[in-house]
Amino acid sequence: MKLKVKDIDISSGGPLIAIMNHKDAAMLDLHVMDRIKIKKGRKIETVVVDIAESDKVVPKGKIGVFEEVLNSLKLGNNDDVEIAIARKPLSIDYIKKKLDGQKLSKKEIDQIVWDIVHNKLSAVELTYFVAACYTNVMSTEETILLTKAMVKHGDVLRLDKYPVIDKHSIGGIPGNRTTMGVVPVIAAAGYYMPKTSSRSITSPAGTADTMEVLANVAFPIKKMKEIVLKTKGCIVWGGALNLAPADDKIIAVERPLEIDAESQLLASIMAKKHSVSSTHILIDVPIGKDAKVKNKVEALKLKKEFEKIGKRLKKHIKVLITDGTQPIGNGIGPALEARDVLWLLKRDPRRPIDLERKCLMMCANIFSIVGVKNGYKRALEILNSGKAYQKMVEIIKAQDGKEIAAEDIKIGKYSYDVLSAKNGRVSDIDNIFISRIARIAGAPHDKGAGIYLYRHVGDKVKRGEKLFTIYSESQHELEYARDVAKQSKVFVVR
């Protein structure tokens, strides 16, 4: 069947999709979610079919094409293409197999990942794969195969250096901007640390969002390598790179379901670390009622799995179980967190001491993995000497940024102070509400929006003293955030 292309100017966000008129679809006995092959010259692409029930959207004789298909086949509006029926991807059968609780082979896992990377699976089919791995947890062997497949079907940063350091936090804790404290210390000590970080998914800021206040974070892998070889470190956005791309597509499906299949979490983290050629890896597992990992039993189980997989991949792995019961640092939101980091590196009296202690503890553990004794003392010396700050400036400049004083970082011009209603001691801070209020205020899309904390758990507070300040770049968003703060029990003072 020959049809003319109609550019419908819609992106699916990944899957290859085309829309056929119901009359054309009936002629080939096609139904929603069936596959067709679209051929233009020598180029062929297999896509998922959607069906238009009226001629208004896609007239008979035309095929509505999503942006991903247009780009893949280099199509233009009204181009002539040939249509043929195609079979479903092989990985559909393998996903069914996992749904039935069976183990998958190397060939089967490799095919699933290939189909994910090349957008051969619809969002529904990919969701079933995520659900299958969530309900029928992958074995250690399957997880290792999934890790290797993720790395295989993406780019790899090859540094040809040893050791190469990396770190990762399981996440879920507001603030906790340890990467931006750890990388300059480790790089100043002479070790290579190519750090890829994520943007926020449900938090007020990801490390990439915060680093972006100070420098560019989106680079191709060739430029990333140049930066690392020049400065020994970097803090870049992983989403701009083609490192383990299947992981990003899986995360996009997990987000609305709010699930984190253990095997995919393990494979996701280890694939990203493997793809930057890291040899020594520190994993931070915060635990707390509002954290991703709720208790020590879950954390120890995860620790054991990380260590098993690390050993099989010939990586030196150390897993830290840390306190995730409250925010780390004072600033929550990109600009406020960036200010905290600069204060920390500049040894300013306003620096958040809890964030500093955690950074130093993590540096000490990284030093221990590579055989450096008295790591805490070594890290503190690097901080106090100013070498860590100078290294951060070097990295910022290499990433197309410029040195800026913490005080010159622009914070949201609208603010609202939340005061303590009584004398007492802070006994609890709700991480979920802290994140929600900061996001309602505009973080992370408005860099200057967020929350600044004046108290942490265990601190004394008097009636009328500030607990936290909400910042926003919009008066309306500040009002929404203020209303939520008034209605919520963010701080518990006893």
Show which residues are catalytic.
Answer: 260
Element (H, E) at 491: strand 491-493
- The two tokens of residue 234 are 């970097």
Element (H, E) at 296: helix 296-312
d(CA 198, CA 279) in angstroms, rounded, equals 20
Which DSSP letter does residue 407 get? G
Q: Give CA torsion, residues 96, 101, 107, 108, to 10 deg.
A: 20
d(CA 18, CA 66) in angstroms, rounded, equals 6
- The two tokens of residue 89 are 């991807």
* Chain centroid, CA 186 distance in Å: 22
Maximum distance among all alpha carbons in the chain?
Answer: 77
* Chain centroid, CA 433 distance in Å: 21
Residue among 239, 322, 304, 244 at smallest CA distance from 278: 244
- The two tokens of residue 87 are 């079979």
d(CA 341, CA 356) in angstroms, rounded, equals 9
Cβ atoms of 218 and 240 within 8 Å: the answer is yes
Which residues, at least 6 apart from 290, have a Cβ–Cβ distance to it below 8 Å?
Answer: 172, 324, 325, 430, 431, 432
d(CA 202, CA 338) in angstroms, rounded, equals 19
Which residues, at least 6 apart from 38, have a Cβ–Cβ distance to it below 8 Å?
Answer: 18, 44, 45, 46, 47, 63, 65, 69, 73, 81, 82, 83
Block residue for tokens 């979610």: 33
